[in-house]
Structure formats: structure tokens, C-alpha cells
Amino acid sequence: MDLSRGLSSFCRNSQFTKEFTLDQVINARKIYDFMGLLECSPTSDGSAAAVLCSERFLEKNPHLKSQAVEIVGLKLGTDQPSVFKENSNIKMIGFDMIQKISSELYKETGVTPNDVQVIELHDCFAPNELITYEALGLCDIGEIKKTPVLK
């Protein structure tokens, strides 16, 4: 099962509720040299939400503490000059931007890639998600194929 599309099959309001096998994903019509149709996100509207509260609120509502996560940092960025100077698919999807802002955020917060437990990640194309793991420092560059998540 393709994980993201597989999960969407459980939500009746999802844009896509059909599940695909790995074989179907691999053999889908090619959109680009190494990427098939089922590895691309369609034009769509989406959203994510987080309910923010203070520690004081949690103290008054202790039954919610087990569901709470602490946001220790947030950083926004934009494309780096390498996007326009280099003819690189990896640079085009924002590798340098992600690497720069995540490195800065790790320094500012004292958090390391090993401390990260949750990532909200836009993965417009399946390879983008994997390349982003490398840019975030979750694995060494070129080593994503060896990570347990893919086995």
C-alpha cells in the first residue's frame, strides 16, 4: 500500500479514497524521468491545524497533557539562489532552503535531528519527502535508501 494514499482511503471526505499497490505506483504513467503519475500530488486545497494553548491552560486541564506537544521552534524560509543558478532537481525542490533553515533552527533551539518526533511536511511529489529527510539531517545525504522507514 502507498502509505499516504492508503491512509486517505480511511477518510470518506478525502480527495482520493482508492488504495494503490506498490506495483501500481511503480508502473504508473511516467510524468518525468523517474517519477510516475501516482507519485505526484494533484491540484488540490488542503490544510493542517494545530490547537495552541498555554502551559497554564494545560495545568487547568490535566486530562489534555498526554495529547500536548511543545513547539520549541519555528522558522520560515524561501528559495536560495542555488535554485536559479544550478540545473538541479534537488535544488529546485528546496533542498538548500530546507537545509539552511533547519540548521539555523537546530542551533537556535538546541534540538538535534535525533530529537525530532513530528514533522509537518508538504510532499508535492514522493521524491520530495525523501530528499527533505536528508535536508533536515534526519539521515546523511545519499543514505535515505538505507533508513528503516523504507524497509
32 and 90 share one domain: no
Q: How confident is the model at residue 2, as a pLDDT?
A: 47
Q: Which of 123, 130, 129 is nearest to 147 (CA)?
A: 130
Q: What is the residue-level pLDDT of the chain in tens, covering all 151 positions? A: 445 566 777 878 877 788 888 899 889 999 888 788 888 887 776 677 788 999 999 999 999 999 998 888 888 888 888 888 888 888 888 899 999 999 999 999 999 999 988 887 777 788 888 889 999 999 888 888 776 655 4
Determine, yes or no, domain membership for 64. Answer: no
Determine, yes or no, domain membership for 63. Answer: no
> Grid coordinates standing for 22?
506498490
78 and 40 share one domain: no
Residues spanned by the domain of 32: 1-44
Report the alpha-carbon distance of residue 51 to residue 38 in Å, rounded.
Answer: 32
Q: Please give the DSSP secondary-structure letter assigned to residue 40.
A: B
Total number of domains in the chain: 2
Q: How confident is the model at residue 113, as a pLDDT?
A: 94
91 and 135 share one domain: yes
> Grid coordinates standing for 37?
503519475
14 and 86 share one domain: no
79 and 29 share one domain: no
> Grid coordinates standing for 82?
542555488
Q: How confident is the model at residue 137, as a pLDDT?
A: 94
Determine, yes or no, domain membership for 143. Answer: yes
Q: How confident is the model at residue 50, as a pLDDT?
A: 82
